[in-house]
Amino acid sequence: NTLSLEEYLYGLIKLEISPEWPLSTLCAQAIVARTYAIRKLWEGNSLITNLPAHQAYGGIKAEDARGRIAVDLTRGEILVYQGEPVNSVYHACSGGYTASSREVWGEDFPYLRAQPDPFSTLSPYSRWTVRISKQKLEEILQKIGLRLKGIKALKILEKDTSGRCKLLLILAENTSQIIPGKKLREIMGFNVLRSTFFQVENEKDEFVFRGKGWGHGVGMSQWGAAKMGKMGYTTEEILRFYYPETRIDKIY
């Protein structure tokens, strides 16, 4: 099936955020999702069908009346920075501090910076706790080729500006290993270790991760945008907060 970009967005909004959230938030999500798609095309991804791998898409069944309104109200609007479509990445919840694209992915975009995010501190995902037995973690690590026997401790060696774990030391009886925090999250599962914004406690038979937020933390926090909408902030104000120095441009 061939979809127009606006039709694609109709089937995306409800899957990305709650249709019950404020209209200013829904419009912000529509602009960010449209910008993300335009950016991918601008970078040379010619097929829009590739995009669902990056953003949720549920087709006609996922369409919602308020989501359609948000798409229609913002038709053709994208975020730009110095004349280029913004790399408008987003995530569920920042946990109170957004992350820098340079520190997370090694790509420096001035508008994707680490900054305090007071709007994301009260979401259901702003705080979480995960427990994993030392034996279970050992089994998981062995599956990816790390031959660690008798894991004794985990220690955060380096954090980024936002406080997220960059490097983690794994101490075992036979050896030690340093891995990136985001690698540990990938290994344990993105829905298990919800972010790299965590502290880790070493207990007798298990490790306890006490974390904040959900997702990579770069760009717009969807739960933060929801809070801003409920507080009366406009779509433009929401986007200006999460993507500083950008502006909305209507391209069609």
What sign does the CA torsion over 55, 57, 13, 95 have?
negative
| Spatial distance between the Cα atoms of 178 and 232, rounded to a whole number of angstroms | 45
| Spatial distance between the Cα atoms of 94 and 99, rounded to a whole number of angstroms | 8
Hey, how many other C-beta atoms are within 10 angstroms of the C-beta on 15?
17
Max alpha carbon distance in the chain (Å)? Answer: 62
Helix 235-242 and helix 222-230: axis angle, to 10°?
Answer: 140
pLDDT value at position 170? 96
Extract the tokens encoding 221.
């926090």
Tens of each residue's pLDDT in the chain, 252 residues: 557 899 989 989 988 899 999 999 999 999 999 999 999 998 887 545 544 444 554 455 445 899 999 999 999 999 999 999 999 999 999 999 999 999 999 999 999 999 999 999 989 999 999 999 999 999 999 888 888 999 999 999 999 999 999 999 999 999 999 999 999 999 999 999 999 999 999 999 999 999 999 999 999 999 999 999 999 999 999 999 999 999 999 999
Report which residue type is found at 47.
L
| Spatial distance between the Cα atoms of 93 and 102, rounded to a whole number of angstroms | 19
pLDDT value at position 51? 46
Phi, psi dihedral angles at 57 (to 5 degrees)? -150, 130
